[in-house]
């Protein structure tokens, strides 16, 4: 019977095993109170069940309920009141569920400033640029704005790299200093004719 109950528990909360909780509990102490908050710094909503047990404090006797913690938000979970002149001793239990319940309590929440995740392109992007190249600046700016993972190598700051890239293109170091469009590596293949972000995207998505 115990084994069956344990299996059912694992099936109901599959995300508790084999991964780190995406929701963290933070504490704020003030006067004779400790307030607990849930911080979700991911881009996915979760429901959480939070309990505090211990001594030298009091808390609501109400049965714990699932609380919705929206993406990139901070939500109040519980406040305990400490007994005067006694040090609280407590343990916390947090269950995080990625299967959202219609019965979850939806509290007011604070939006957290969480940067969007970096986008990993289908092919690794390396851009070799010069200091006087408007199309280089345009492509780099758009890749940065779209949060892509890429490398930007300024050739004037990397003489050895400039020499190596120049040898592939049959250009001297002096000629490399005057190029007006970027040299782009997509998955290890060099392109010298890509002059716009749109063309880069076409080649990036080409099978």
**Structural domain boundaries of the chain?**
19-111, 125-205
Residue 171 forms beta bridges with which residues? none
pLDDT on residue 14: 43
Q: Which of 131, 191, 166 is nearest to 200 (CA)?
A: 191
67-69: strand order across its sheet: 67-69, 46-55, 89-97
3-state secondary structure of 103: coil
Q: Which CATH number is 125-205 given?
A: 3.40.30.10
pLDDT on residue 140: 94
Architecture of domain 19-111: Sandwich (2.60)
Same fold, 19-111 and 125-205: no
CB 165 within 8 A of CB 176: yes
- 2, pLDDT greater than 50: no
- 203, pLDDT greater than 50: yes
Q: Per-residue pLDDT tens for 141-193?
A: 999 999 999 999 999 898 899 888 888 888 888 888 888 889 999 999 999 89
Q: Per-residue pLDDT tens for 29-85?
A: 998 999 999 999 999 999 999 999 999 999 999 999 999 999 999 999 999 999 998
What tokens were used for 10?
Answer: 């694992």
pLDDT on residue 167: 87
pLDDT on residue 176: 85
Share of the chain above pLDDT 70, in %: 90
């Amino acid at each position: 019977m115990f084994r069956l109950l344990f299996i059912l528990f694992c099936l109901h909360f599959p995300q508790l095993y084999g991964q780190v909780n995406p929701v963290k509990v933070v504490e704020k102490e003030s006067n004779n109170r400790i307030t607990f908050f849930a911080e979700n710094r991911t881009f996915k909503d979760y429901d959480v069940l939070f309990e505090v047990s211990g001594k030298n404090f009091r808390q609501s006797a109400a049965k714990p309920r699932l609380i919705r913690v929206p993406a990139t938000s901070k939500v109040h979970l519980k406040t305990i009141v400490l007994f005067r002149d006694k040090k609280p001793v407590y343990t916390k239990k947090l269950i995080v569920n990625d299967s959202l319940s219609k019965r979850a309590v939806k509290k007011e929440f604070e939006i957290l400033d969480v940067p969007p995740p970096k986008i990993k392109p289908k092919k690794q992007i390396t851009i070799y640029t010069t200091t006087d190249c408007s199309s280089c600046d345009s492509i780099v700016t758009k890749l940065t704005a779209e949060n892509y993972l890429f490398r930007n190598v300024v050739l004037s700051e990397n003489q050895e790299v400039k020499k190596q890239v120049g040898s592939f293109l049959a250009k001297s170091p002096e000629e490399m200093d005057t190029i007006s469009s970027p040299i782009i590596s997509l998955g290890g293949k060099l392109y010298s004719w890509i002059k716009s972000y749109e063309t880069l995207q076409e080649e990036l998505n080409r099978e």
